[in-house]
């Protein structure tokens, strides 16, 4: 399994996963929204997958509020076909994140390719890219009942730093925050 930059030659497989009901957002199902966005303008969708300078653009949270878009990029897990996605986001000049962004990295593997080690390998491959953008560490959050995600993070050197209450815009409930040192 390799990480690939989202490109036109990968888009059909990505769309097929979305149409099967897979969502890269683990807080809410955005599959139908993404299908519509890609069908409307696939070039713009792919350009947005590597957005290191969001220049005043915003994103809508689940409660409808709008917040500044952070610099970031996505990579797709690929084993000859689409397996999932992983993304990195940050604020320039600081490793800190605003309160509406719980972690630097998010990932999701399609259900039909889970339990193959793809998330662990994707995170391993993404960590050097996080170092390249100047981060001394990354924070990754998960739910206490998501033991698989905890194992992925811990396999990549993640250390549990806190248990916290997630804001409603991130699904609410208990959360676990891990930190992976990059230096």
Asked if residue 70 is part of any domain, the answer here is yes
Asked if residue 172 is part of any domain, the answer here is no
Q: Count the domains in the chain.
A: 1
Asked if residue 40 is part of any domain, the answer here is yes
pLDDT at 171 over 80: no
Asked if residue 151 is part of any domain, the answer here is no
CATH of the domain at 128: 3.40.630
Locate 99 and state its tokens. Answer: 């309160």
- Residue 26's pLDDT band, with cuts at 50, 70 and 90, is confident
> How wide is the angle at C-alpha 52 spanned by C-alphas 5 and 113, nearest 5°?
35
Residue 41 and residue 33 in contact, taking contact as beta carbons nearer than 8 Å = no
Residue carrying the six token digits 């698989």: 148
Confidence at residue 63, expressed as pLDDT on a 0 to 100 scale: 81
Asked if residue 98 is part of any domain, the answer here is yes
Distance from the first to the final alpha carbon of the chain: 25
- Domain of 112 in residue numbering reads as 2-132
Asked if residue 152 is part of any domain, the answer here is no
Please compute the mean of the pLDDT values over residues 10-17 and round it to a whole number: 98
60 Cβ contact partners less than 8 Å away, ≥ 6 residues apart: 66
pLDDT at 38 over 80: yes
Asked if residue 55 is part of any domain, the answer here is yes
Asked if residue 150 is part of any domain, the answer here is no
pLDDT in tens, 105-131: 999 999 999 999 999 999 999 999 999
**pTM for this predicted structure:** 0.94
Residue carrying the six token digits 């915003």: 58
pLDDT at 62 over 90: no
């Amino acid at each position: 399994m390799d990480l690939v930059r989202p490109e036109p030659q990968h888009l059909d497989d990505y769309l097929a996963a979305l149409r099967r009901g897979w969502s890269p957002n683990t807080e809410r199902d955005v599959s139908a929204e993404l299908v519509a966005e890609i069908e409307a303008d696939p070039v713009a969708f792919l350009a947005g997958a590597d957005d290191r300078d969001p220049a005043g653009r915003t994103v809508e949270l689940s409660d409808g509020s709008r917040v500044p878009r952070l610099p970031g990029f996505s990579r797709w897990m690929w084993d000859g076909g689409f397996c999932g996605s992983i993304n990195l986001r940050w604020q320039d000049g600081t490793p800190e994140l605003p309160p509406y962004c719980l972690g630097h990295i998010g990932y999701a593997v399609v259900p039909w390719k889970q339990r193959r080690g793809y998330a662990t390998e994707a995170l391993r491959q993404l960590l050097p890219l996080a170092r390249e953008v100047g981060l001394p560490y990354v924070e990754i959050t998960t739910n206490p009942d998501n033991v698989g995600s905890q194992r992925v993070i811990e396999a990549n050197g993640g250390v549990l730093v806190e248990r916290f209450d997630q804001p409603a815009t991130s699904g609410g409930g208990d959360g676990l925050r891990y930190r992976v040192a990059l230096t």
